[in-house]
Amino acid sequence: MVKGLYTAYTGMINEQHRMDVLTNNLANANTNGYKKEGATSQSFSDQLALKIKDYTDAPFTARGLGIINPGVKIGEGYVDWSEGPMKETGHKYDMAIGGYGFFGIEYTNKAVNIERDVPNQTNIMYTRDGNFTVTEEGELVTQDGDFVLSQDGGHIQLDPSLPVEVSMNGNIIQDGEIVSTIGVFDFEKTTYADGRITYDNLEHYGENMYIPVNGANPIEGTGRVYSGFLEQSNVSVVDEMVNMIAVQRNYDTNQRMITTIDDTLDIAANQLGRLQ
């Protein structure tokens, strides 16, 4: 019976984790280029239950009662890399990637420790959010001021006084000449039979950015660049709400199980052995 308390407890912890993932997806339902996340569940290994100190059998002999499972544990998280719908904005510096690939960003951590005079840390990050703009100096940057990288890894310098055209292969054209090429980068990925893909060497950094891990190096992406469009989140609000209802019901079921077992233990401990 006490094992039942533990099993219900592990179920509640698992459902709470799933709820955290779902709420994060809903919070980013309107975030450009956001890829929804999910969580898996795993069962603990089955164990053999033993009955000990039962002197109906030979003394000091443990008798097997059967197989039990201690409950469920949080499994691995995953990212749904399916492409989100594109929204036309009409702004030349809004860009979306059709197919596989990421924009390269020279991301600067803006949490500066002024008292200790710690400089900003700069890393190369990757994102599907193409909501860009141009500074007064003509540099293509994100809305947070981080530099967008060209295909050769450098900053993109434009003439803000001239009109801009962006071809589907990422070439930026001003005054009839190619002045730079938008960097579209990709990484090694695993493709499943149903068409799903996964990136084993990319981690979600935060702020809609991804960072390569395990020494992963970018390769040239095959995606097409669409100027005047933004890729929307691939989160379905309706699906996430339905999943939240299911998670809440599972959580409540485990909670009621704990209450029931606790009431039973109370009767066994405080009422059955009471002298009349």
Question: Which one has a higher pLDDT value, 74 or 43?
Answer: 74
Rounded CA separation 190/201 (Å): 10
Please report the pLDDT score of residue 77 as a whole number.
85
In angstroms, rounded to a whole number, what is the distance separating the alpha carbons of residues 75 and 249? 20
Residue 64's pLDDT is: 53
Q: Average pLDDT of the chain?
A: 86
pLDDT, greater one: 47 or 149: 149
Phi, psi of 111, rounded to the nearest 5 degrees: -80, 85
pLDDT beyond 60 at 46: no
**Residue 67's pLDDT band (cuts 50, 70, 90):** low
Q: End-to-end alpha-carbon separation of the chain, Å?
A: 26
- Give the separation between CA 122 and CA 213, rounded to whole angstroms: 16
- Under the banding of pLDDT at 50, 70 and 90, the label for residue 52 is low
What digits encode the pLDDT tens for the residues 72-119?
Answer: 778 788 899 999 999 999 999 999 999 999 999 999 887 655 545 555
> DSSP string of 62-92?
-EEEEEE---EEEEEEEE--PPPPEEE---T
Looking at the predicted structure, is the pLDDT value of residue 70 above 70? no
Among 49-63, 117-131, 231-245, which stretch is predicted with the lowest mean pLDDT? Answer: 49-63
What would the pLDDT profile of 165-185 be if each residue is shown by its tens digit?
999 999 999 999 999 999 999
Q: CA–CA distance from 171 to each of 126, 178, 264 (Å)?
A: 19, 6, 72
Q: Is the pLDDT assigned to residue 130 strictly greater than 90?
A: yes
pLDDT at res. 4: 76
- pLDDT score at 183: 96
**Burial profile 239-267: b = 16 or more Cβ within 10 angstroms, e = fewer:** ebeebbeebeebbeebeebbeebeeeeee
Q: What is the pTM of this model?
A: 0.80
pLDDT computed for residue 153 by the predictor = 93
**pLDDT given for residue 136 in this prediction:** 92
Say if residues 138 and 159 touch (Cβ distance below 8 Å): yes
Of 136-145, 180-189, 222-231, 253-262, the one with minimum mean pLDDT is: 253-262
Using CA atoms in the order 147, 149, 153, 155, what is the torsion angle rounded to 10 degrees?
A: -50
Whether the pLDDT of residue 61 is over 60: the answer is: no
Q: How confident is the model at residue 58 (pLDDT cuts 50, 70, 90)?
A: low
Q: Has residue 151 got a pLDDT over 80? A: yes
Question: 184 with 223: CB under 8 angstroms?
Answer: yes
Strand residue runs (E) in 119-234 = 121-127, 132-134, 140-142, 147-148, 165-166, 171-174, 177-181, 184-186, 190-191, 197-198, 202-206, 209-212, 219-220, 224-227, 229-231
